[in-house]
Structure 1
Amino acid sequence: MRRYGKHTDEDDIRQRPNRKGNRPRTNIRPKHEEAVDGMVLTVDRGRLTCLVGDHVVMAMKARELGRKAAVVGDHVAIVGDLSGDKDTLARIVRIESRTSVLRRTADDDDPFERVVVANADQLAIVTALADPEPRPRLIDRCLVAAFAGGLKPILVMTKSDLASPDKILELYGALDIPYVVTSREELENGDAADRVREQLDGKITAFVGHSGVGKTTLVNALVPADRRRSTGHVNAVTGRGRHTTTSALALPLASEGGWVIDTPGVRSFGLHHVDPSQVIKAFPDLEPGTEGCPRACSHDEPECALDQWVADGHADPARLYSLRRLLSTRERREGD
């Protein structure tokens, strides 16, 4: 072993190179004052298509963002080549604060939440009245996710030529949710799109629904012809639709002043991430009545103060029933 004496100079000692480079670490991050604003339109294998001004730019996430991921609808700050030319790639260096988020988990036991859409104003929940049969539990779960994420829900019922909407309307009437009922013929001739568009103009609206309910067909009727997506069919044996939309995509409305975000068809909507206290905020007529509730009240137990609140005439009993049905949806499977 080589030994160094008291007269050894530091130049006599061989130093190991720093594998990560010799620059000292710092917590100071560049401010990127030259960054421009953009909106994420879609995400595909680490590449993000963004709208910058009036043109589209391909970008990737900057390393300094760490694990933080941008999703469709995010407002971001972008630097680099912003020409939008072929084979160019810009960098997203900042993700701005979100006004709303639509989240889901794979199932209720999955702690890993996925942000599907950011900054949407509304959530259009599309359900067929038949072929495939409506799934109220899935609708309930989408409503809970909308209320918890700060989105206004809209119920869109398709294929009314095959079944009546009365049962669905009775089930959700107490929630005062805007709704539109459409038939297959109306989807084909454009009448359905005209009535749905009345709820969408000037807003960013995410569309969600079970595969095969006509969600993408409706989106195609709302957007310019050159932006339309492929559609599928319902399997006659299983009653399930084929997933034709594989990634969320923001599309401008054919009329000015609004966006629709088409999301992949869902067969489950986990709510592991939802804080029940957020759901009550969507019931302003019931929320004041919770002041007398015990701590961590589930709002469906003997000590819940909402029963007395309703008994005193402050709110409709149907509203309390609807709240409790939505809150209990985490304990029920969607097929129950």
Structure 2
Amino acid sequence: MSGRYDEHDHEHYERPRRRTRPRTKERPQYDDAVDAVVTTVDRGRFTLRVGGEVDGVRVWAVKARPLGRKGVVVGDRVRVVGDVSGDEGALARIVEVQDRATVLRRTADDDDPVERVLVANADQLVVVTALADPEPRPRLIDRALVAAYDAGMKPLLCLTKADLADPETLLATYRSLGVPWVVTQRGADLGELRDRLAGRTSVMIGHSGVGKSTLVNALVPDADREIGQVNAVTGRGRHTSTSAIMLALPEHHGAAGWIIDTPGIRSFGLAHVRPEDLIEAFPDLDEMTEDCPRGCTHAADEPECGLDEAVARGEADPERVESFRRLLEARSGPEY
């Protein structure tokens, strides 16, 4: 009895095998790549300034496949290849994300372990808050300060609507921490704020309605950021900025700079911040905790904390210690 198939039947032949190029550990060098800075991120498309300078050519780009899931955020310094002419329809590719000097991050909630990187490579965090309409939210300000210290960024309080309320009440809360501040009001000169921003990369954050977009439009005349109104019933502002954008500041006293406008925030989770990292932002207090018991968080209820002993000896300012502990509590306390 002969077999079911002979050599002429098609099922006699082996199935075709996938033909793929052998893998290699060699990666493209991209010797022709140019430097750029990310100014906006929108659904997988990126706007860049080639050269990384405020007067660089604006180009559009996508992320190269070898970067995989590596995130690219506003402020990132990247290397790009492709069409970097900036002409309409031109598209480049981001092939490398350079090491970040600073990272501003937050978690959605205090019990959320997932960190979200907001901005990279900024050196100053400008916390914008209105003195009235809407009322200040010190707990949210505290959380923003904690995020700044944790990121290694210099904080700056920018108090708006000074024509509606006296700034001294709020400033007294933060003076002992040594946080610098500027006070503004609608239509007033912004020279002091421009001085603070010149030559730096600054991130502006604040909840909706505090006048952040108004400031950005005044600082960068062609920014055209939408301005919202405060709800008369809830006392809260309407979100107008929907994504972060990095804008070049006009030269001031011979120094240029960048400002990053962010959407209005309603929460600022700090699950990623550790007490030992926070106190390092206050070298004078950190020095006083060298003899603390192991595991001491430096909170007010910690026994034998070096901060309490320093206050008792008259070596520490009680108000400064109290203010630092308020920041500690802000990591997990209510936001409003």
Q: TM-score, normalised by structure 2?
A: 0.90
Structure 2 SS opposite 1:254: strand
Please give the alpha-carbon distance, in whole angstroms, between the structure 2 residues aligned to 1:252 and 1:93. Answer: 24
Verify: 1:299 aligned to 2:298, yes or no: yes
Please list the CA deviations of residues 283-311 of structure 1 after superposition, one character each: whole Å capped at 9, or x if unmatched: 11111122212233211111322211333
Q: What runs of 5+ residues in structure 1 fail to find an aligned partner? A: 4-10
Structure 1 SS opposite 2:280: helix
Name whichever of 252-261 and 237-246 sits farther off.
Answer: 252-261
Verify: 1:212 aligned to 2:209, yes or no: yes
Amino acid in structure 2 at the alignment position of 1:207: M
Partner of 1:240: 236
Partner of 1:268: 267
Q: TM-score, normalised by structure 1?
A: 0.90
Percent identical among aligned pairs is 60
How many Å apart are 1:272 and its aligned residue?
Answer: 1.3
Please give the alpha-carbon distance, in whole angstroms, between the structure 2 residues aligned to 1:103 and 1:78. Answer: 25
Query: Which of 157, 160, 168 is the matching residue for 1:158?
Result: 160
Please give the alpha-carbon distance, in whole angstroms, between the structure 1 residues aligned to 2:230 and 2:33. Answer: 46
Amino acid in structure 2 at the alignment position of 1:118: A
CA contact 1:243–1:264 (8 Å) conserved in 2: yes
Instruction: Give 4+ residue runs of structure 1 displaced > 4 Å after superposition.
Output: none
How many Å apart are 1:263 and its aligned residue?
Answer: 0.5
Partner of 1:173: 175
CA contact 2:216–2:223 (8 Å) conserved in 1: no
Shift in alpha-carbon separation, 1:320–1:87, aligned structure 2, 3 A: same
Please list the CA deviations of residues 112-169 of structure 1 after superposition, one character each: whole Å capped at 9, or x if unmatched: 2111111111000000011000000000000000000011000011111111112211
Verify: 1:136 aligned to 2:138, yes or no: yes
How many Å apart are 1:236 and its aligned residue?
Answer: 1.1
Query: Which of 238, 245, 249 is the matching residue for 1:249?
Result: 245
Partner of 1:88: 90
Please list the CA deviations of residues 24-71 of structure 1 after superposition, one character each: whole Å capped at 9, or x if unmatched: 233432221221100000101111100003211101111111211111
Please give the alpha-carbon distance, in whole angstroms, between the structure 2 residues aligned to 1:238 and 1:96. Answer: 43
Please list the CA deviations of residues 5-35 of structure 1 after superposition, one character each: whole Å capped at 9, or x if unmatched: xxxxxx96334326xxx02233432221221
Please give the alpha-carbon distance, in whole angstroms, between the structure 1 residues aligned to 2:125 and 2:182. Answer: 13
Kindly report the root-mean-square deviation, in angstroms, between the aligned alpha carbons of the 2 structures.
Answer: 2.0
Structure 2 SS opposite 1:142: helix
Please give the alpha-carbon distance, in whole angstroms, between the structure 1 residues aligned to 2:246 and 2:118. Answer: 12
Please give the alpha-carbon distance, in whole angstroms, between the structure 2 residues aligned to 1:73 and 1:27. Answer: 30
Please give the alpha-carbon distance, in whole angstroms, between the structure 2 residues aligned to 1:149 and 1:26. Answer: 38
CA contact 2:146–2:331 (8 Å) conserved in 1: no
Please give the alpha-carbon distance, in whole angstroms, between the structure 1 residues aligned to 2:237 and 2:87. Answer: 37
Query: Which of 194, 197, 219 is the matching residue for 1:222?
Result: 219
Partner of 1:319: 320
Partner of 1:24: 22
Please give the alpha-carbon distance, in whole angstroms, between the structure 2 residues aligned to 1:222 and 1:55. Answer: 21
Q: What runs of 5+ residues in structure 2 fail to find an aligned partner? A: 6-11
